[in-house]
Amino acid sequence: MNILSQIRDRFRPALANLTEGVDPLLEMIRPSQDASFGDYQANCAMPLGKQLGLPPREVAQRLIDGLNVDDFCDPPEIAGPGFINLRLKSDWLIAQLVAALSDTRLGVDTTDSPDVVVIDYSSPNVAKPMHVGHIRSTVIGDCLARVLRHLGHQVIGDNHLGDWGTQFGMIIYGYKHFVEDAAYQENPVMELSRLYQRVNRLIEFHAGKRNLPLRDQKVAQLEEQVDTQLSVCRDADEKQKKKQEKVLRKLQSQLAQTRKERDGLAEKLSQVTTDPELLRVAEEHQDIGEAVLQETVRLHAGDETNLALWNEFLPKCREEIQRVYERLDIHFDVEYGESFYHEQLAQVVDQFLESGLARESEGAICVFLEDWDAPMIIRKKDGAYLYATTDLATIRYRMDTWQPDLMLYVVDHRQSEHFSKLFTAAASWVESEVEFRHIGFGTVLGRDGRPYRTRSGDTVGLENLLDEAVAKAHAVVVDNDQRKPEPEMSEEERMQVARVVGHGAIKYADLSHNRTSDYEFDTDKMLALEGNTATYLQYSYARVQSIFRRAEVDARRQSQQVTTFDLGHAAERALALQLLRFSEALEEVLVDFRPNQLTDYLFKLAQMYSVFFEHCPVLKAETDGLRHSRLALSDLTSRTMQQGLALLGIEVVERM
């Protein structure tokens, strides 16, 4: 039962009597911010009044006259300029609670129109260990998969591994020139990752050396322009001033940006120039950029040595990544990496050429797209295929295999241009109603507000972060346990709880931030016992469980058999309503694919339970009836939290 949808469904005919295009008006029916204005509020009479040229209060009255909600709402009230306030009937609320109590799905229905949804998520480039940047795609994608499935959609989770790109050219080159055998024997992935980094540094060094003078020039040029513009502004008359200042600001921001780029290059150069050994190697490998590309080309052309190396490296890289997935309880339905599509790329290009969607331009095969200046290249002049070509082949494969209604790509927002172009190109190619969505997300930042890195400037390994979070969680758990009159947990249990709490904290911190914003990665904050953290929710859950432990043995069973609720106290009613809004929260997640809709819901639920618990004694309630009712509310709360957290990919513990 989704209360908000039910209310909107009832408003639909009433609105349709007055106007057309009711959907945006229906959006204006929302939960009330303040319980004294009822449970839900419709604000659509104001814009509708404007549109019809009638006083909003009169429009509100007409809406109410055409509205049929008597079966579950008290008579609607008009307030202020024309708000319509709705208050749910208590009997109806109680009946819904009773139904939820005996329902393993807690009153959440599955959809009437299930979709087939492919979710492309996690998708790391496998030649290096997973780092902090991989958290986001992995946990957001996993959460969306869980919620979609729970609501009855058919989901195919696909880990589109980067197992075929230039990064393999890099480690092949690195292996051929720099491998240390003992290190490779000892820990192959670590050694491959070192090789990757070394090759990457060298490539960046040479590219930087070429580009730095150009950047310097550009900076000097902009500095001059800014100077000139400063005097222009000084001399401008009142009328011109605003305009000239705008020009100045634009130049200044260009200057700042260019300086930043230049400093970035300079820093990369200094990483090599300050290391004599590396500098010597750099001199010996002048053409490394080109040579690495050639290694990749050879791999793709089926060169025996390179293919053998790739076959040796790949399983090791995958194992490494798999370990993280196991820890985080992440599972995919399929893991077709880029290499899977290799042999289909030529055909994709042919199809694009045949259908006239692509043509040759300066030797490359290009798809020209409306709204974009630069075309999407699908085959380079030298015959090499690109990221986009593989993505097109992937789309074709998915369409043929699953006929999805929707394809979600949970990928860093920096790739948004790639996906816009890809979707436009694919739309005219696949001839299906399939919808493509890029689910972009912001960057994980360090405390300095810059992308999270180690002191030496490297990205931070994901496993280390998980270990750190678990270690800190362990301290929290021990501290908490020791505060109890009698500590309850064995060391083994503490460790087990610490794992659940540590991993949960990392996932929750990511999911609870609006996915499009950047967020600061701070393990102390994410493990706080107060505030919007998994730790707080897990703690709240455990606290409810402890009530049942303290009550007599069959309290849980008894509470699940109640046939009525007492919602006399405002805190009881508020909690009841929040419990019944679980399905709203889940559907809200899917509106714009935002897991924070669910975290917000759960946080609020925990807060409401806490208010309830403060005002309404449970085990010491005045009557048996009241006690059962409150136990049943507690039971529903803990089950909703458990299920809600599970949909975020987070576990609960019975005590902590």
Question: Which residues here bind ligand ARG, judged by CB under 6 A?
Answer: 120, 123-125, 160, 162, 391, 394, 409, 411
User: Of 11 and 409, which CB lies nearer to ligand ARG in the complex structure?
Assistant: 409
User: Of 348 and 534, which CB lies nearer to ligand ARG in the complex structure?
Assistant: 348
Q: How far is the CB of 271 from ligand ARG (least distance, A)?
A: 23
Q: How far is the CB of 381 from ligand ARG (least distance, A)?
A: 23
Exposed (0-12), middle (13-18) or buried (19+): which is 388, by Cβ within 10 Å? buried
- Are 124 and 164 a contacting pair, CB within 8 Å? no
User: Of 423 and 603, which CB lies nearer to ligand ARG in the complex structure?
Assistant: 423
Give CA–CA dist 378/353, Å, rounded. 10
**Location of structure tokens 């492919």:** 118
Reduced to 3 states (helix: H, G, I; strand: E, B; else coil), residue 623 is coil
Q: How far is the CB of 545 from ligand ARG (least distance, A)?
A: 40
Q: How far is the CB of 260 from ligand ARG (least distance, A)?
A: 22
Signed CA dihedral, 520, 523, 526, 528: sign only: negative
User: Of 199 and 411, which CB lies nearer to ligand ARG in the complex structure?
Assistant: 411
Q: How far is the CB of 408 from ligand ARG (least distance, A)?
A: 10
Q: How far is the CB of 394 from ligand ARG (least distance, A)?
A: 6
Q: How many residues does the chain have?
A: 656
User: Of 126 and 202, which CB lies nearer to ligand ARG in the complex structure?
Assistant: 126
Q: How many CA atoms lie within 13 A of 211 on its CB side?
A: 17
- Buried b / exposed e along 422-446 (16+ C-beta atoms within 10 A): bbbbbeebbeeebebbbbbbbbbbe
Q: How far is the CB of 163 from ligand ARG (least distance, A)?
A: 9
Give CA–CA dist 588/608, Å, rounded. 20
Give CA–CA dist 7/72, Å, rounded. 9
Q: How far is the CB of 356 from ligand ARG (least distance, A)?
A: 25
Q: How far is the CB of 125 from ligand ARG (least distance, A)?
A: 5
- The DSSP annotation for 542-603 comes to HHHHHHHHHS-TTHHHHHHT-S-----SHHHHHHHHHHHTHHHHHHHHHHTT-THHHHHHHH
Residue at shortest CB range from ligand ARG: 162
Please name the amino acid found at residue 309: L
Instruction: Please give the structure tokens belonging to residue 22.
Output: 């009711």
User: Of 162 and 440, which CB lies nearer to ligand ARG in the complex structure?
Assistant: 162
Report the largest interatomic distance among the alpha carbons of the chain, rounded to a whole angstrom.
86
User: Of 128 and 474, which CB lies nearer to ligand ARG in the complex structure?
Assistant: 128
Give CA–CA dist 119/621, Å, rounded. 48
Q: How far is the CB of 120 from ligand ARG (least distance, A)?
A: 5
Angle at CA of residue 174, ends 173 and 176, nearest 5°: 65
User: Of 434 and 636, which CB lies nearer to ligand ARG in the complex structure?
Assistant: 434
Phi/psi-derived region of residue 13, left when phi > 0, alpha when psi is between -120 and 50, beta in every other case: alpha
- Are 638 and 541 a contacting pair, CB within 8 Å? yes
Instruction: Please give the structure tokens belonging to residue 611.
Output: 């208010």
